[in-house]
A and B are shown apart, each in its own frame.
Chain A
Amino acid sequence: MLHEEREIPEIYYMKHRHDDDTEWTDYEKNMLDKMLSPYIYENDMMSKFLKKLQPLTGKLFDQMNIVKNFRNYIVDKYHYKHNR
């Protein structure tokens, strides 16, 4: 997610280590996995390819969040934990 990629992982972890809100969708980790037939993943090469493709498709949605957050001055530009 763009929100995480702005900082080095250690700093990001430190700033979010107590966060426990889970009511959001991590597109980068499960978007294609949920939409494609599981049968496709039985081929190792295809599975590896899809796992690499998944974060890119997730970015499609992640980048829309910038516009979505445009008028909400409370949240970060890359805030992605929308649940409504």
Chain B
Amino acid sequence: MNFIGIRFSSIKNEIENFLKTEYNKAGILFSSASPYGQILSVIENLHQLSFLYLKNTIVGLDVNQPGTTERMIKNAAIFAGHIPGRAISASGTLRFSLKTDIDFEKDIPGGKISFFNKLNIKNKTNSLDYSFNIGTEIATHRLNPNYQFFIPIIQGKWMTKSYTGEGIALQTISSNDSGQQDVENFNVQVIVNGNLWTIKKHIYEMIPEEQAVVVRTGFNGGVDIIFGNGGFGAIPPVGSTIQLLYLSSEGSLGNIFRRTRNDWNFVGSIFDGNGQIVDIDKIFNIDIYNDITFGADGESIEFTRTILPIVSNNFVLALPQQYAYEIKKLGVFSHVNAYEKSGTIFIAVVPNINLFKNQNSDYFTIDKSAFTLDTYEKSKIDNYLRTSGVIQLTRKYKIVNPKLSYYVMNVFVIPYSDVSDESINSQILDKVSNYFLSLSRINIIPKLDIIRQLSNIKDIHSVDIQFISKKNEDYHKSMILEMQNQLNMYAETGVTKQLPNYDSSTTLGLDPILGDIIFDPEEMPIIRGGWKNRDGTHYSSDIEGNGLKSVNIIKKGSIDPKNRPIK
């Protein structure tokens, strides 16, 4: 029998012919609008759909296929031992201060309030859920006039899903959130028959019959939960209740850059001394005390690709690159550089400014403090490192702010004559701003990178750029001054020796031939004026100013628009 010759459409035709004959016997006309005609066409479509589904699935097994999706690449990375980072919720602190115009006895009976951990609140401006993150199950505050207290909060809403123990070794559960939300990277809990089980990174970390479980980023998004086999971790009994509690996070959307007072709605309840629900908005002013930041989306595919070469599978923090890997995985830093000096690992990190900056500001207008970490942010990283891996004994590390190296940039451009200067300037500044906001280079910034970006502007005929390094200018300025002083001194004393060892061709912070930016591991280059060059010419930090500034766009004539390339 020739099976290749059997086609679904042929079978369908045969059935149709049969039905036509049968219908005709009853004196009725058969068409695709007839009940059986309709059923046939639906079945045919479903069959075709399932074949499309099968084809898609098979394509998914080969990451080199053109139709490869994000999920397939992530799955391949999981096979390679990498645990892709999920969304990280923004966190910060709220300050509750008692309003002065309240009737203390009437509004707060019992003079105290109590609330539970994970209490759900909603931000009025962005309509996202946030949860109390107080570290204890319940907190009580005894109030008095002018009383204030602080509550750490985290973006997201705690969700619970239930599963059943199957009583088998290495039971696994795959769970994910649908929609935009993702299971938060750190806030996951597994409760079996009411007991909280410890979360481990690998089954070999679990001791015999230990109430522990492995939680990893899932193949289909969300998380995969792997229970033990008795020897490594306990097996949940058959029929037991397994509860998965997780924070459903919106990632970077949860960052809040403003400090609006009383911007919160309480979804969960806070109780007074008599156990009655308190209207918290009425009695407290609520301010954002520490910025609600550090929220980041799940790992992007570009990020997975760049991080794969430094994947560390052993969860040990020993080498600088292992520290860099762990911190990069957080996804909230654009620049991470770890280096060893005198037995200590220095970790220079720069926050991903895109996540923290106001939407209206750009690279040239944000405050310089955005490039550095404050003590609170450093403590967050420190805490993360201590919980994410085993730090090698005797190993010391230090989280440092990178030294900012200042540069200004000259852009030489020949535009087409039918474009206004303002349009060209804003397009160039936009490209440069975007490039430096998502800077991924760690030791060199080739001019090519930026020229490539600027080449995408259609109104430009040709372009070149030049960097001027403050470090280089400072060096030459000080050496020229010192030379001058020495020469003046020698002219008086007649001694002609001991001129400083000055090489006028030295270029610090720049490639001497190509002019690319070169920087050390502890440095972070920024394009910002506010300093003078060796000749005393001042570069302003005001990007809107008229004189020389952070980015100087110099027009070298223009080209007739009829010379625009024709597609």
Contact partners of A79 in chain B: CB under 8 A: 174
Say whether B98 faces chain A, with CB atoms less than 8 Å apart.
Answer: no
Contact with A along B3-40 (1 / 0, CB 8 A): 00000000000000000000000000000000100110
Contact with A along B38-62 (1 / 0, CB 8 A): 1100110011001001100110110
17 A-B residue pairs with CB within 8 Å: A14-B239, A17-B164, A17-B239, A18-B162, A18-B241, A18-B242, A19-B163, A32-B42, A35-B46, A46-B35, A61-B53, A68-B53, A70-B57, A74-B224, A74-B226, A75-B172, A75-B219
Is the pair B75, A61 in contact by a Cβ cutoff of 8 Å? Answer: no
Is the pair A64, B53 in contact by a Cβ cutoff of 8 Å? Answer: yes
A61 to B57, CA, bound (A): 12
Top 5 A-B residue pairs of the complex, sorted by shortest distance between their CB atoms: A18-B164, A74-B224, A72-B219, A60-B50, A20-B162
Which residues of chain A in 14-33 are interfacial with respect to chain B, using CB atoms and an 8 Å cutoff? 14-21, 23, 31-32
Apart from A21-B163, A61-B50, A75-B172, what are 14 other A-B pairs with CB-CB below 8 Å?
Answer: A18-B162, A18-B242, A20-B161, A21-B175, A36-B39, A57-B43, A60-B50, A64-B53, A67-B58, A68-B53, A71-B219, A75-B174, A79-B174, A84-B221
Is the pair B164, A15 in contact by a Cβ cutoff of 8 Å? Answer: yes
Contact partners of B39 in chain A: CB under 8 A: 32, 36, 40, 50, 53
Say whether B220 faces chain A, with CB atoms less than 8 Å apart.
Answer: yes
A74 to B220, CA, bound (A): 10
Contact partners of A31 in chain B: CB under 8 A: 46
Contact partners of B61 in chain A: CB under 8 A: 70-71
Q: A60-B46, A67-B58 are in contact. Are A15 and B174 (CB under 8 A)?
A: no
A37 to B42, CA, bound (A): 10
Give the B interface residue count (CB, 8 A). Answer: 38
The one of A18, A43, A68, A83 that contacts B176, using a Cβ cutoff of 8 Å: A83
A84 to B183, CA, bound (A): 14
Is the pair B238, A68 in contact by a Cβ cutoff of 8 Å? Answer: no
The one of B38, B47, B221 that contacts A37, using a Cβ cutoff of 8 Å: B38
| Distance (whole angstroms) from the CB of A83 to the closest CB of chain B | 5
Say whether B156 faces chain A, with CB atoms less than 8 Å apart.
Answer: no
Is the pair B163, A84 in contact by a Cβ cutoff of 8 Å? Answer: no
| Distance (whole angstroms) from the CB of B45 to the closest CB of chain A | 8
Say whether B420 faces chain A, with CB atoms less than 8 Å apart.
Answer: no
A40 to B35, CA, bound (A): 6
| Distance (whole angstroms) from the CB of A6 to the closest CB of chain B | 13
Chain B binding site: helix, strand, loop or mixed by DSSP? mixed
A19 to B43, CA, bound (A): 32
Contact with A along B106-141 (1 / 0, CB 8 A): 000000000000000000000000000000000000
Contact partners of B79 in chain A: CB under 8 A: 71
Say whether B218 faces chain A, with CB atoms less than 8 Å apart.
Answer: yes
- Number of A-B contacts defined by CB within 8 Å: 89
Contact partners of A61 in chain B: CB under 8 A: 46, 50, 53
A23 to B42, CA, bound (A): 25
Is the pair A67, B54 in contact by a Cβ cutoff of 8 Å? Answer: yes
Contact partners of B375 in chain A: CB under 8 A: none
Say whether A82 faces chain B, with CB atoms less than 8 Å apart.
Answer: yes
A60 to B239, CA, bound (A): 31
Q: A14-B238, A60-B50, A71-B75 are in contact. Are A23 and B163 (CB under 8 A)?
A: no
Is the pair B178, A84 in contact by a Cβ cutoff of 8 Å? Answer: yes
Is the pair A84, B46 in contact by a Cβ cutoff of 8 Å? Answer: no
CB-CB nearest in chain B for A20: B162
Which residues of chain B in 151-191 are interfacial with respect to chain A, using CB atoms and an 8 Å cutoff? 161-164, 166-167, 172, 174-176, 178
Contact partners of B167 in chain A: CB under 8 A: 15
Is the pair B35, A74 in contact by a Cβ cutoff of 8 Å? Answer: no
| Distance (whole angstroms) from the CB of A77 to the closest CB of chain B | 12
Contact with B along A45-74 (1 / 0, CB 8 A): 010001001000100110010011011101
A60 to B221, CA, bound (A): 25
Is the pair B163, A18 in contact by a Cβ cutoff of 8 Å? Answer: yes
Contact partners of A32 in chain B: CB under 8 A: 39, 42
Which residues of chain B in 445-473 are interfacial with respect to chain A, using CB atoms and an 8 Å cutoff? none
Interface centre among A23, A46, A50, A71 (most CB of B within 10 A): A71
A43 to B224, CA, bound (A): 46
Contact with A along B490-509 (1 / 0, CB 8 A): 00000000000000000000
CB-CB nearest in chain A for B220: A84
Contact partners of B46 in chain A: CB under 8 A: 31, 35, 57, 60-61
A53 to B8, CA, bound (A): 17
Is the pair A43, B164 in contact by a Cβ cutoff of 8 Å? Answer: no
Contact partners of A72 in chain B: CB under 8 A: 75, 174, 219-220
CB-CB nearest in chain B for A17: B164
CB-CB nearest in chain B for A59: B50
Is the pair A67, B57 in contact by a Cβ cutoff of 8 Å? Answer: yes
Contact partners of A70 in chain B: CB under 8 A: 57, 61
Contact with A along B276-300 (1 / 0, CB 8 A): 0000000000000000000000000
Contact partners of B58 in chain A: CB under 8 A: 67
Is the pair B43, A74 in contact by a Cβ cutoff of 8 Å? Answer: no
CB-CB nearest in chain B for A23: B178
The one of B38, B57, B174, B226 that contacts A64, using a Cβ cutoff of 8 Å: B57
Is the pair A15, B241 in contact by a Cβ cutoff of 8 Å? Answer: no
The one of B35, B42, B221, B238 that contacts A43, using a Cβ cutoff of 8 Å: B35
Contact partners of B57 in chain A: CB under 8 A: 64, 67-68, 70
